[in-house]
């Protein structure tokens, strides 16, 4: 089985000034939604809530600049195969407000921390907080 050929992305500074950046992009901004978590998890109860999120398919939790986020990997229904918007003229205001000035064109998803499943988050919480309370009850009753 052969792997698909992936074109090398042109660095932002090499795109001709008369061209639109989006025409060269992989549309990262249209392939996920990230929402700030209510707060940084500090207790087992907090971590269990975060674990619930990442136990779902295509949901991650990441930390960027000290802030915790829940990320839903979900492609916009209006993203065309050429990575441009099918409803550009009538797109939602949040899309209109988004600019290429600070976009993720050349951002390679580098986070302080990323958790892609509940086991990763459990292990991180256990390293910070010690054994989960349910594990302590098992030890006492044994």
Q: What is the pLDDT of residues 81-134, one digit of tens each?
A: 999 999 999 999 999 998 888 788 877 767 899 999 999 999 999 999 999 988
How far apart CA 15 and CA 12 sit, in angstroms, is: 6
Q: What is the pLDDT of residues 28-52, one digit of tens each?
A: 899 999 999 999 999 999 999 999 9
Domain ranges, ordered by start, for the chain? 17-131
Give the bridge partners for 59, in sequence order: 72
H-helix segments, the chain: 44-54, 93-97, 118-129, 133-141
Confidence bin at 5 (pLDDT 50/70/90): very low
Q: What is the pLDDT of residues 67-85, one digit of tens each?
A: 999 999 999 999 999 999 9
Q: Is the pLDDT of residue 62 over 70?
A: yes
Burial tier of 41 (Cβ tally within 10 Å: 0-12, 13-18, 19+) = buried
Q: Is the pLDDT of residue 138 over 90?
A: no
How far apart CA 102 and CA 64 sit, in angstroms, is: 15
Confidence bin at 4 (pLDDT 50/70/90): very low
């Amino acid at each position: 089985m052969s792997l698909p050929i992936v074109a090398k992305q042109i660095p932002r500074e090499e795109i001709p000034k008369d061209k639109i950046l989006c025409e060269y992009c992989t549309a990262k901004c249209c392939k996920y939604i990230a929402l700030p978590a209510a707060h940084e998890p500090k207790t087992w109860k907090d971590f269990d809530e975060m674990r619930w999120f990442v136990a779902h398919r295509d949901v991650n939790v990441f930390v960027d600049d000290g802030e915790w986020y829940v990320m839903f990997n979900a492609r916009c229904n209006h993203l065309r195969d050429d990575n441009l918007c099918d409803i550009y003229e009538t797109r939602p205001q949040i899309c209109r407000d988004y600019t290429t000035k600070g976009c993720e064109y050349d951002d390679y998803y580098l986070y302080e921390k990323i958790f892609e499943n509940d086991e990763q988050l459990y292990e991180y919480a256990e390293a910070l907080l010690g054994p989960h309370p349910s594990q302590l009850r098992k030890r006492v009753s044994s």
